[in-house]
Structure 1
Amino acid sequence: MSLTTIITVNFHEAEVTIELLKSVAKSYSPSQVEIIIVDNGADKNMELIFQPYFENIKYIQSKENLGFAGGNNLGIKQAKGDYIFLLNNDTEIPAGCIETMIAELEANDKIGLLSPLLLYYDQKDLVQYAGFTPMNYLVARNSYIGQFEKNIGQYDNQTYQTGYCHGAAVMCRKAALNNAGLMDETYFLYYEELDWCEKFMRIGKQIWFTGKTQVYHKESVSVGKASGLKIYFNTRNRMLFIRKNTGWLNTFFFSIYFTLIACPKAVLKYLLAGQANLAKWTLKGLWWNYTHSKNSKELGYEIKS
């Protein structure tokens, strides 16, 4: 098996990351896999904490929190593998996962990014992801395929083209990645994998799903289901994604819809629920798009409680 680089971003969750390392070590040797751990926002070097759990680990300490895209990009730049496998630190993989995904990539040169079946770790008979529907660019909405379905093997032998990969587990050839480019760090959190898929599609590659292997995802370990962080970046980046990946006419109509319908509806919902803080971050996420150029390399973020 060709060398595969697994890249995972840790953010103050050493025990969660260690469980991922253990799951890899059960089935793969250091000659088959190198693991790059990007330790985001780390005040102290944690390399010795992780080293006992897998022999071929490259540890990168980043005192600055670079976000999901920035953390993965830092790892990608140092990856030696022919295949790059981005895995959330809150995932675990079964035996055969990596070689199955490599086989699917090798069988079809058109595949740029490939994600496996994602199952909820605490409910392994429940599907989280079996692909995405195409994006409706006018409203920036698409849907999970299979989410919350009972897993009865309906995807086990299926491999098909899909709308987008899932950032929790996605593999590509390093050669294709070099052509498509790194993730856009402007996003910081959320929508960056969708934007990355668009980059691969622009170089003529396709986005695929395979149910021939799976990854178990401990959903919502990193970010709560309702938080200012999540609301802000989801709002901000939904509009940013459209601004970056569609023409001016689509952006114009989307902006009207998003500014006058979608965001006011969300704000009203939060206010009625007594969640004024979430309403505030919705408006901040929207306003960001009217004060920042989509082409600026200096785009930053600031979020305070």
Structure 2
Amino acid sequence: MTQTAVVILNYNGAKFLRQFLPSVVAYSPSATVYVVDNGSSDDSEGIVRKDFPSVQWLALEENFGFCGGYNRGLRQIEAKYYVLLNSDIEVTPGWLEPMINILENDSTVAALQPKILSYQNKKAFEYAGAAGGYMDFLGYPFCRGRLFTFLEEDLGQYDDIKEIFWATGACLVIRSSVFHQFRGLDEDLFAHMEEIDLCWKIQRTENRILYYGKSKVYHVGAGTLGYESPRKTFLNFRNNLIVNYKHLDAGEICYKLPLRILLDWLAALMFLIKGKTKNSLSVIQAHAAFFSSLRKHAIKRKALHQQFPTYSRKNIYKRSVVAAFYLLRRRKIDIRRD
């Protein structure tokens, strides 16, 4: 069994593989690097086999999405630790070993993420993960170093080791036993929010999730779907409702879900006012998709709550991040103090 497998999910990402695999291979000497291909039609395979002979190639017959692709790929990889790494990430010297050492020496840690900085502006945090993920009391995810569209400059303020609620799927270091304990990622989500769902499951156990700010990687971001993509809007809004419905306690659902739906409709209205008609329609479609599949999610919810009745709330912001950002004009939140 390989101790550490760095696993890159690829779909027609020849450009990113050519650009970023050199750093992954060079700076991950203790790991075996895999590319799991989601049925690409470009020359990804040729590039990997010719230019990166040490990289293992695993081909899937079609595009199963982020969740399905990783689930199928990781079932074929025997390793003690998995690193789910986006194809559009440049890693840095010494990025991986310290996080593996933490897993080796602390059995309570189930998963970690490094500092996520922007590839385009290496002094700034990047949207997908930044300095570690949290949730507010209504189930809105946010990060240190990034609140909605506001990205902080990296001045060393988050060069710490911090317990967090969720770690980014862009660079997720996780015990393989934990990944398979929860049967991997929820394929009904297809892509987006799947790492939050998995981390929320971890929060239902005695295990912890950490941010390790002494390691850093640079992320291009929106490599598959642009940030303004209506498809991305649909997935984010639908999946956030699914994840919250699966995890919130019965009493919480009674008032939190209606509030979330109302706020989503306000978001749809804001999209419309800004002339983003397709994004506005995506919110409505997301709600329709959520309610039409509610029975299926209810079955999953019941099974999850029977096995793991409650979850840790110590890394949940007790107020509304939406109100803090848009009404109070806050650009930083410290959940320990605020």
TM, length-normalised to structure 2: 0.80
State how far apart, in whole Å, the 2-side matches of 1:44 and 1:145 are: 37
Post-superposition offset of 1:248: 2.6
Q: Match for 1:26: what amino acid?
A: A
Q: Deviations over 1:237-271 (max 9, x none)?
A: 11101111112332232332233x21221222122
Post-superposition offset of 1:295: 4.8
Which shows bigger deviation, 244-253 or 232-241? 244-253
Task: Establish whether residue 4 from structure 1 lines up as the match of residue 4 from structure 2.
Answer: yes
Q: Give the total of aligned pairs.
A: 290
* 1:144 corresponds to: 143
Structure 1 residues 110 and 57: CA distance shift in structure 2, 3 A:
same
Which shows bigger deviation, 58-67 or 5-14? 58-67
Task: Establish whether residue 153 from structure 1 lines up as the match of residue 164 from structure 2.
Answer: no
* 2:131 corresponds to: 130
* 2:288 corresponds to: 287
Structure 1 residues 206 and 25: CA distance shift in structure 2, 3 A:
same
Q: In the alignment, which of 178, 190, 193 is matched to residue 192 of structure 2?
A: 190
Which shows bigger deviation, 66-75 or 53-62? 53-62
Structure 1 residues 41 and 55: CA distance shift in structure 2, 3 A:
closer
Q: Is the CA contact (8 Å cut-off) linking 1:43 and 1:63 kept in structure 2? A: no
State how far apart, in whole Å, the 1-side matches of 2:51 and 2:205 are: 38
Post-superposition offset of 1:45: 7.5
Q: 5+ residue gaps in structure 1?
A: 298-305
Q: Match for 2:270: what amino acid?
A: K
* 2:20 corresponds to: 20
Q: Is the CA contact (8 Å cut-off) linking 1:45 and 1:61 kept in structure 2? A: no
* 2:180 corresponds to: 178
Q: Is the CA contact (8 Å cut-off) linking 2:163 and 2:208 kept in structure 1? A: yes
State how far apart, in whole Å, the 2-side matches of 1:195 and 1:4 are: 23
Structure 1 residues 64 and 254: CA distance shift in structure 2, 3 A:
farther
State how far apart, in whole Å, the 1-side matches of 2:60 and 2:222 are: 23
Structure 1 residues 10 and 268: CA distance shift in structure 2, 3 A:
same
Query: What does residue range 1-305 of structure 1 map to in structure 2 within 5 Å?
Result: 3-29=3-29, 32-43=30-41, 46-128=44-126, 129-133=130-134, 135-137=135-137, 139-147=138-146, 148-156=151-159, 158-259=160-261, 261-292=262-293, 293=295, 294-295=297-298
Q: Is the CA contact (8 Å cut-off) linking 2:14 and 2:42 kept in structure 1? A: no
Post-superposition offset of 1:296: 6.4
Q: Is the CA contact (8 Å cut-off) linking 1:25 and 1:53 kept in structure 2? A: no
State how far apart, in whole Å, the 1-side matches of 2:37 and 2:224 are: 13
Which shows bigger deviation, 144-153 or 282-291? 144-153
TM, length-normalised to structure 1: 0.88
Q: 5+ residue gaps in structure 2?
A: 301-338
Post-superposition offset of 1:193: 0.3
Q: Is the CA contact (8 Å cut-off) linking 1:36 and 1:75 kept in structure 2? A: no
Q: Match for 2:152: what amino acid?
A: E
Post-superposition offset of 1:44: 6.7
Q: Match for 1:12: what amino acid?
A: N
Which shows bigger deviation, 164-173 or 121-130? 121-130
